[in-house]
């Protein structure tokens, strides 16, 4: 695991924290994390992509080290992604998103087709139920848990959904990297709990506007995106294909970072002349 160089930029009127894996002379790749996560979720995948790309992972608004600012609609995240891209001076980028990041990446590619060279949607939720809505509201209303140290946050950190093959040390790193000391001796996870109050996701209303080559990849054991759902998303975009990462669940970028990165790089070599 190699953390990227921390960077901070002002974009869209907000301050954004990012992790940067150098190589400014290489084609850009922008990594988008999942809901209630942060850019360090890419610490195992990004160095593998950096052999070919200048890789930057951003913290969405209300997440990690980025500024809190409602609303937390998907369209607001899309606007932030485009503002960060412009601030970096990038004309286009490979966009890779996991879970909510996959949804935001797809919506970004639909709204700005000329700015996405290729798109990877990793284990994205494709539907929304009343039960999910109620669970999200309970999460938003729940007070943030507090801990005596960042190390304690790491030791107590758990995933949702919980299925994973990632080693315990990997999860501890995520907890520590995503912890903030709100008051002396009181640490909690850095995200704003209001991020759970996002609109119901409905990707099929815009997927046919996605023109970039698109890889839809799921963990073979995922309970979030079924094989049928991955196939449906790949069929809905204009140039899509579906794939699975074996021995991985929803959090495939943690469970099998090597397999995920190699799958992405191999696919990109086939669909993008620039990547060869």
Which pLDDT value is given to residue 11? 97
pLDDT digit string (tens) for 39-66? 999 999 999 999 999 999 999 999 999 9
What pLDDT sits at residue 95? 98
- Of 86, 45, 21, the closest CA to residue 217 belongs to 45
Q: What is the pLDDT of residue 231?
A: 98
* Among candidate residues 211, 250, 212, 247, the one with its CA nearest the CA of residue 230: 250
**pLDDT (0 to 100) of residue 260:** 98
Kind of pairing between the strands at 93-98 and 28-32 = parallel
Q: Got the DSSP string for 196-251?
A: G-PPPP-GGGTGGG--S-EEEEEETT-SSS-HHHHHHHHHHSTTEEEEEETT--S-
Both tokens assigned to 198: 């996002």
Give every residue of the chain whose pLDDT is below 70, as ranges.
1, 273-276
> Which domains, and CATH codes, for the chain?
5-126+200-275 (3.40.50.1820)
d(CA 233, CA 72): 24
């Amino acid at each position: 695991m190699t953390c990227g160089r921390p960077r901070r930029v002002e974009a869209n009127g907000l301050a954004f924290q990012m992790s940067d894996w150098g190589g400014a002379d290489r084609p850009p790749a922008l990594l988008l994390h999942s809901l209630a996560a942060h850019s360090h979720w890419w610490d195992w995948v990004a160095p593998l992509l950096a052999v070919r790309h200048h890789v930057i992972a951003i913290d969405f608004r209300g997440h990690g080290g980025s500024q809190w600012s409602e609303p937390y609609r998907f369209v607001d995240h899309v606007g932030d992604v485009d503002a960060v891209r412009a601030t970096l001076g990038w004309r286009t980028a490979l966009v890779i998103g996991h879970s909510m990041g996959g949804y935001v990446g797809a919506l970004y590619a639909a709204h700005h087709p000329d700015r996405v060279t290729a798109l990877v949607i990793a284990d994205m939720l494709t539907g929304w139920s009343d039960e999910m809505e109620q669970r999200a509201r309970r999460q938003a209303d729940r007070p943030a848990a507090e801990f005596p140290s960042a190390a304690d946050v790491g030791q107590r950190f758990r995933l949702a959904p919980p299925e994973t093959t990632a080693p315990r040390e990997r999860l501890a790193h995520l907890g520590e990297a995503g912890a903030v000391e709100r008051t002396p001796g009181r640490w909690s996870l850095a995200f704003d709990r209001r991020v759970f109050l996002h609109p119901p996701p409905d990707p099929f209303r815009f997927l046919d506007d996605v023109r970039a080559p698109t890889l839809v990849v799921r963990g073979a054991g995922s309970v979030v995106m079924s094989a049928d759902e991955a196939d449906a998303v790949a069929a809905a975009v204009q140039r899509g294909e579906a794939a699975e990462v074996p021995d991985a669940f929803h959090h495939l970028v943690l469970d099998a970072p090597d397999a995920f990165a190699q799958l992405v790089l191999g696919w990109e070599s086939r669909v993008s002349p620039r990547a060869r």
